[in-house]
Amino acid sequence: MSETAGPAAAPAGRRLRIVVPRYGAGVNGGSELLMRRLAHALTARRWAVSVWTTTAGDEGTWAAAFAPGDDLDGAVRVRRFPVLARRRPVAFHHLSRAVFRLPPPLRPEALWLLAQGPFAPGLVRSLATAASRPTLFMPYLYHPALRGLPATPSPRILVPAAHDEPALRLRAVGRLVEAADALWYATEEERSLLEEAHPVAARRPHAVGNAAIDPPPLTDPEGFRARHGLGRYLLYAGRLTPGKGVDLLLRGHALLRERHPEVSLVLIGDAGATTAASEGVVPLGWVGDEERWSALAGAEALVVPSHLESLSLVALEAWACGRPCLLNAGSPVLAGQAERSGGALLFTSPESLAGAAARLLEDPDEARRRGEAGRTFVALGYRWNAVVQRLEGLIAAAGAGGRQAARARASRTR
């Protein structure tokens, strides 16, 4: 399938390549979901979009879930490249602990990055010989961006999805940021973090705001509760990976149940597929889009317990449904979202999570006010037309920056 296939009317300024480690309708993850939504929003506006990715479906092991080769996701063209090495989660966890206990100059970065994966050298080689066109890479941490971005013809835009973790300060990440022609951040907090970790980021063109939320479809919260035998419930929608705060969530809910034993905790997504049911905990696993929106619309509150976030899309979705959120104050991004929206209460511990949840449960008027404040915040600030305008400006700035960098490199080699 040719990368130039697609809307015949798409001009050169409306052609885009997106590079992500995983991609597909069943792939769970904020970065992957954001790029998939962007791809579909652009194709609906007559952009020619291609996604270059791997065959991986599972982030823990990079096990193949898709066949290599060309595919279509609606009108979006997809090229998949095989992952040549599976990741072993337990061994990788031990390696990470050992590596990041070392002083930065002694860390075997190359070894760690190879183990991190997904190792797809065919993707990098193909990018190096691909036609020059604007290319987005997201997120910063994985082989397709770390090796693929420097190899790709300009203009190259990095969508970092950065949060405060040891890997962010690796020297390889600094080289990645330096190679990017422009940066596209989710929030101002993310921009500040990356510029603190790698000051070269401040010298790159940038834009802030890369997400939009479509208005939710018709939801059926009463039907959702009836189908699953639920009364009042809190909702968690996401993955069960280190840093996502699921243990904090479960402990906080157990404390809440001492005061409100009628309140369940519903888990959907990866956490719901892998967490065993316990008293008051209802793991539903993967649900379809309509069921997911109904789950959001029916919740007393959505809980985001992670302290490692560059943006919480699911919080924006809950606000689009008029529901309040409970957000981890340990994440500057979540704290910023809460402050700007007025749609959330913050917590720092299982005890404060239980207290914040009880406050919303016991004061329906406050819960309603915060949910409506969140709905207004999303309606005013997260629309696709604004996102597309930012992208167009960033592509123009990245193209100019890439040409300037190429001239500088050429002058150094003369």
φ and ψ at 388, to 5 degrees?
Answer: -65, -40
Domain holding 241: CATH number? 3.40.50.2000
* Cα 32 from Cα 43, distance rounded (Å): 17
- Whether 176 and 149 have beta carbons less than 8 Å apart is answered as yes
86 and 234 part of one domain:
no
Residue 279 domain-assigned (yes or no): yes
184 and 324 part of one domain:
no
292 and 396 part of one domain:
no
Residue 5 domain-assigned (yes or no): no
70 and 112 part of one domain:
yes
Residue 3 domain-assigned (yes or no): no
- Structurally, how many domains does the chain consist of? 2
* Cα 362 from Cα 354, distance rounded (Å): 12
Residue 1 domain-assigned (yes or no): no
Residue 135 domain-assigned (yes or no): yes
Predicted pLDDT of residue 62:
95
350 and 247 part of one domain:
yes
User: What distance lies between CA 248 and its chain's CA centroid?
Assistant: 21
Intra-chain end-to-end CA distance of the chain, in Å:
39
155 and 240 part of one domain:
no
21 and 105 part of one domain:
yes
* Cα 129 from Cα 157, distance rounded (Å): 18
Low-confidence ranges of the chain (pLDDT < 50): 7-9, 409-410, 412-413
E strands within 153-288? 156-158, 182-185, 206-208, 233-237, 264-268, 281-285
Predicted pLDDT of residue 409:
47
Residue range 89-121, pLDDT digits in tens = 999 999 999 999 999 999 999 999 999 999 999
195 and 233 part of one domain:
no
86: left (phi over 0), alpha (psi -120 to 50) or beta: beta
237 and 208 part of one domain:
no
* Domain span at 294: 221-381
Predicted pLDDT of residue 341:
96
Residue 42 domain-assigned (yes or no): yes
Q: pTM of the full predicted structure?
A: 0.86
Residue range 313-322, pLDDT digits in tens = 999 999 999 9
235 and 146 part of one domain:
no
159 and 278 part of one domain:
no
185 and 235 part of one domain:
no
Residue 6 domain-assigned (yes or no): no
DSSP state of 324: -
Residue 309 domain-assigned (yes or no): yes
